[in-house]
Amino acid sequence: MAIVSPTHAQSLPGGFVYLRDIDPSIIQDIRYATSNNFVGRPLAGYGAGECVVKREVGLRLKAVQEELAAQNLSLKMFDCYRPARASLDMVKWSQNGHETAAERRYNPKIPKTELFRLGYIASRSRHSTGAALDLTLVDLKGDNSAKYDPSRIYADCTAQAEARAPEGSVDMGTGYDCTDAKGHTAAPSINVAQRAWRKRLVAAMARQGFVNYSKEWWHFSLPGAGGAAYDFPIQPRRN
């Protein structure tokens, strides 16, 4: 069983832990703490790019990671606990009356005012309970060196992997946070290899009790591990 230092645990409420304290081998790319996301800036409450989860969630992720490590694979976290204020920040963004070209990369066919109605974004998210996650797989034997360049113009999230923004992960058929039918887990429009990667991720997560959201190949939750929604900000983890 993983040991969590008391100094770290005391800084987080409600049984939350820093995933890095449970398993530092799990790769983290917490996108809402950066400008590399559909809003184009860090979201409210993301004071650090750290994955924070309920302890049970973290222990189960560790078990998934141990299984994947034997296959030269790793989990990569895009989002974990999300402060409630960040979801409200998304609401304000959707209602600001304009869309930039960079924003359209994430929702090429759907106006952002429709994202909430269609269930792609929620004003009250299960992420705020610490029991929901956004993640992907990384092939540790592959070339993951390409980095996101904010000055570059990329194709939209449904384009071929070499044309869309790099994510340093396997090709799942779309980029992360792609609000398009192609991002649905069982989308028929992706190729055989992409479908195989999605199935591999879903199966590995399911073996530890995680359930995938059918409209987002990257989104998983652990039934029964949530509870109340929280709004504490994500702060830098103390060493």
Owner of token pair 């029964």 = 224
Per the annotation, the verdict on 216 as an active-site residue is: yes
35 backbone dihedrals φ, ψ, rounded to 5°? -90, -5
**231 and 83 in contact (C-beta within 8 Å)?**
yes
Cα 154 to Cα 52, 148, 160, 165: the distances in Å are 30, 10, 11, 6
DSSP annotation of 174 = S
Q: Determine the Cα–Cα distance for residues 239 and 234; give it in Å rounded to an integer.
A: 15
Marked catalytic residue, from 66, 103, 167, 216: 216
Is 219 marked within a binding site?
yes
Among residues 217, 9, 203, the alpha carbon closest in space to that of 133 is found at: 217
Angle between helix axes 55-69 and 192-206 (nearest 10 degrees) is 130
Is 98 marked within a binding site?
no
Is 127 marked within a binding site?
yes
Catalytic amino acids? 216
Residues that constitute the known binding site: 127, 134, 219
Residues that constitute the known binding site for Zn(2+): 127, 134, 219
